């Protein structure tokens, strides 16, 4: 068995070597139930069962800023002071805290389907608006006790149509739905600006009665070991990072916190904000300002009417600057860019700034660490974006958009985005599934910033990983994570 696995790894790394031209290499909710047949937007709804237990979770409260990793933990961190709304989409419970004291908890009745474009977005937000009833222009329904926390996403009561008839249980646009009595309780509790923490994954959040006991249960953790110093690799990139998407562990890195221009990697956030704030089934018109945007590939027609959802294909396959501007200008360009920055902050991208939706601006800057947080978020909650980046082409009407990133040809490539401007050099955010041990594959992110030779840098990293890096499991070892 061991020899057959080694043979597989050999074939894998040789194929990678041939692609990059670097020669042969060898390497050392239990509480919820699913209800199908949605009524709008292809959204399947998760409903809490009557057995859901609404107990207080023992939250950790260190005096430090909340990071994105917080939203995947079983013992999440919340601020020590002030009002906080904690929505746990794993156990389908919403908690109200004030000054670290639990005020009340209620059952969440519905959320957006995980993995869909309308999945309820996790992250750190704040109440933007309060309305006793809000009319959804997408769902064409009224939502009582509505609290907007990001884009088109609200916490609200049971929706009803223009005739006052309550919608079916299977109806949802991805918002967080409560019973009216619970929605009113939350509505009365919060103020504009109240922090809203949204946690979510496919697993439930454990009810932690004893944190030390929980830590004992996780006493086995993975670690990456390297035989050589990666700093000696002949890399042209000013900054790079390779990290494990599942665990957050850093495998190798250089200048991972250096703030640099990111070029068209910006379009990942453009796609993310489009999915979470714009109606993908709505049409937009390609305005003159968008049409005049410098764009060698993924061109559109002046005054063309096109679906918002279809603009993601030229955006991600051909890196269309024109499409990025068309999306941003659909409602209000300044507001769209502000939302890009808001989303970045909500998932812990502390050193990231967006100045335009395309990446043409040298003021679009980030760090390898921040970009890892973003691609990890997309991988967990908006994999639809990555799926597009792996398509060879897409035909829509008179348009045929082809993938200009040759990495999509690799079987182990899980998606990503590259970019280039004079100021940013060559940039890359990519996910790969790599055999980094004898018995398992790992999903890792590879991030390059300010590279002079992107293809060669990728080859050097692949060579280094294959020859020097292995993953082991050690008892009571706690790895350093992002």
Q: What share of the chain is helix, strand, coil (3-state, %, to 5)?
A: 30, 30, 45
Q: What's the rounded Cα separation, in Å, for the pair 444 and 447?
A: 10
Name every residue whose Cβ is closer than 8 Å to that of residue 398 and which is 6 or more positions away in sequence.
none
Three-state secondary structure readout of 189-229: HCCCCCEEEEECCCCCCCCCCCHHHHHHHCCEEEEEEECCC
Separation CA 108–CA 72 (nearest Å): 18
CA distance 87 to 78: 12
* Of 190, 199, 195, residue with least CA distance to 131: 190
Residues whose CB falls within 8 Å of the CB of residue 311, separated by 6 or more in sequence, listed in order = 274, 284, 323, 326, 327
Residue 291: both structure tokens together:
């049409």
Sign of CA dihedral 153, 157, 162, 166: positive
Tracing tokens 């900054």 back to the chain, one arrives at 239
Q: How far apart are CA 309 and CA 319, in angstroms?
A: 15
Q: What are the tokens at 286?
A: 């390609």
Tokens read off for 107: 């059952």
DSSP of 400-454: EEE---GGGGSTTEEEEEEEEETTTEEEEEEEEEE--SSS--EEEEEEEEEES-H
Catalytic machinery residues? 156, 175, 264, 267, 319
Q: Is 417 annotated as a binding residue?
A: yes
361: part of which helix (H) or strand (E)? none
Name every residue whose Cβ is closer than 8 Å to that of residue 38 and which is 6 or more positions away in sequence: 44, 45, 113, 170, 171, 172
Nearest Cα to Cα of residue 14 among 468, 460, 455, 466: 466
For residue 375, which phi and psi values (nearest 5 degrees)? -70, -30
Tell me if residue 174 falls in helix, strand or coil.
coil
Residue length, the chain?
A: 482
Which residues are documented as binding site for substrate?
417
Which residues are documented as binding site?
417
């Amino acid at each position: 068995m061991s020899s057959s696995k080694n043979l597989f790894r050999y074939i894998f790394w040789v194929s990678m070597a041939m692609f990059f031209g670097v020669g042969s290499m060898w390497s050392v909710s239990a509480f919820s139930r699913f209800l199908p047949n949605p009524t709008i937007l292809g959204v399947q709804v998760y409903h809490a069962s009557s057995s859901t237990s609404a107990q207080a979770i023992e939250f950790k409260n260190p005096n430090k800023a909340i990071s994105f990793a917080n939203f995947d933990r079983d013992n999440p961190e919340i601020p020590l002071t002030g009002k906080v709304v904690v929505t746990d989409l794993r156990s389908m419970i919403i908690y109200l805290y004030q000054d670290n004291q639990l005020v009340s908890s209620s059952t969440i009745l519905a959320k957006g389907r995980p993995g869909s474009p309308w999945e309820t977005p996790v992250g750190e937000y704040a109440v933007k608006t309060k309305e006793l009833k809000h009319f959804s222009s997408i769902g064409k329904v009224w939502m009582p006790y509505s609290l907007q926390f990001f884009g088109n996403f609200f916490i609200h009561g049971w929706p009803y149509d223009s005739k006052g008839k309550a919608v079916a249980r299977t109806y949802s646009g991805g918002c967080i739905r409560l019973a009216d009595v619970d929605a009113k309780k939350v509505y009365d509790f919060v103020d504009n600006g109240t922090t809203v923490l949204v946690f979510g994954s496919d697993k439930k959040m454990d009810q932690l009665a004893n944190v030390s006991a929980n830590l004992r249960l996780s006493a086995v953790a993975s670690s990456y070991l390297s035989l050589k110093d990666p700093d000696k690799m002949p890399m042209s990139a000013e900054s790079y990072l390779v990290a494990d998407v599942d665990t957050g562990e850093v495998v190798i890195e250089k200048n991972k916190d250096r703030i640099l221009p990111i070029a068209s990697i910006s379009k990942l956030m453009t796609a993310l904000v489009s999915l979470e704030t714009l109606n993908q089934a709505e049409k937009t018109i390609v305005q003159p300002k968008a049409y005049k945007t410098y764009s060698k590939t993924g061109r559109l027609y002046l005054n063309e009417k096109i679906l918002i959802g279809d603009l993601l294909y030229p955006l991600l396959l051909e890196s269309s600057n024109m499409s990025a501007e068309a999306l941003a200008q659909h409602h209000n360009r300044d507001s769209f860019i502000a939302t890009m920055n808001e989303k970045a902050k909500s998932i812990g991208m502390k050193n990231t700034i967006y100045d335009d939706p395309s990446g043409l601006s040298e003021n679009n800057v980030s760090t390898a660490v921040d970009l890892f947080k973003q691609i990890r978020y997309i991988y967990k909650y908006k994999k639809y974006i990555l799926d597009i980046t792996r398509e060879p082409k897409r035909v829509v009407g008179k348009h045929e958009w082809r993938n200009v990133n040759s990495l999509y040809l690799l079987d182990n490539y899980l998606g990503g985005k590259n970019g280039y401007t004079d100021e940013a050099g060559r940039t890359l955010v990519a996910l790969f599934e790599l055999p980094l041990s004898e018995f398992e594959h790992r999903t890792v992110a590879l991030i390059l910033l300010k590279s002079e030779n992107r293809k060669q840098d990728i080859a050097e990293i692949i060579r280094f990983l294959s020859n020097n890096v292995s993953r082991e499991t050690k008892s009571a070892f706690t790895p350093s994570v992002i």
